[in-house]
Amino acid sequence: MRAISLQSGSNGNCIYVETSGARFLVDAGLSMRETVRRLALVGRTLSDIDALLLTHEHTDHSLSVGGISSRYGIPVYVTAATEEALACRGLGAGIASARRFSPGDCLDFGSVRVETVPTPHDSVDGCAFVIEEGGLRLGILTDLGHVFDGLGTVVRSLDAVFLESNYDPGMLVQGKYPAFLKKRITGPGGHISNEESAGLVAAAGRVFSWVCLAHLSGENNTPDAAVEAHRQIAGPRQDIRVAPRDRIGELLEVVKANRF
């Protein structure tokens, strides 16, 4: 199993995951044209995708879902409430190929299983995903709201993870965001901080295949600050990567995590 972030952050999110049994896009927050261009950098096209898994309706995750669905007919896995919210925003009218699931469902793709994990993010029906094949488990955990009950258990079950590390608390407090936005980000439906993310990694009791920090804020974080928090809190043994906010990341191969 391998994965690559095509982009990660409030300007657009899209992750490509390839297993031996199926090829997935998680979210479609880039324009269709840019999605096509970046997939081509790894030798793939949208026609290669078996399923598009949608985490939630926010535009940075859903911008081109309607276009991709109508142009390519790729099955879009989405909850009913998220589909409705997209339709209200004029983005979901084109989901001709919607496959509905309920948060918490397991989706079956032959040799691949996808667990859907409900999140308390401030969307109508947000979900994170765990993609499993051949005993390897990859988590795609962003837009988490807060460190909710059960999140640590999910993280502990993984071999590799794209994990939200949205903000540095000091930078957020001192930064220029208006008070209401600061409150939203740190509130129960916002995003998790570098320290919270690193705390989850530290508590997992394993050395992950890799941890790719995702959905970093451009205003209230830097890749160096996020990595440093992880080094301090989770220790030097973890292989910490960062998903860039403005370009494609590294192609990452998932291997088994080591427990300690």
Which residues of this chain interact with Zn ion, rule CB under 5 A? 58, 60, 143
Residue 239 Cβ vs Zn ion, minimum distance, rounded to whole Å: 24
Residue whose CB is nearest to Zn ion in the complex, by number: 58
Per DSSP, helices labelled H in 22-122 are 32-40, 59-62, 65-72, 80-88
Least distance CB 115 / Zn ion (angstroms): 20
Give me the least distance between CB of 232 and Zn ion, in Å please.
25
Q: Which is nearer to Zn ion, 76 or 127 (CB)?
A: 127
* Residue placing its CB nearer to Zn ion in the complex, 13 or 238: 13
Q: Which is nearer to Zn ion, 58 or 245 (CB)?
A: 58
Q: Indicate the residue among 48 and 122 with the shorter CB distance to Zn ion.
A: 122
Shortest gap between Cβ of 59 and Zn ion (angstroms)? Answer: 9
User: Measuring CA to CA, which residue among 21, 35, 26 is closest to residue 3?
Assistant: 26
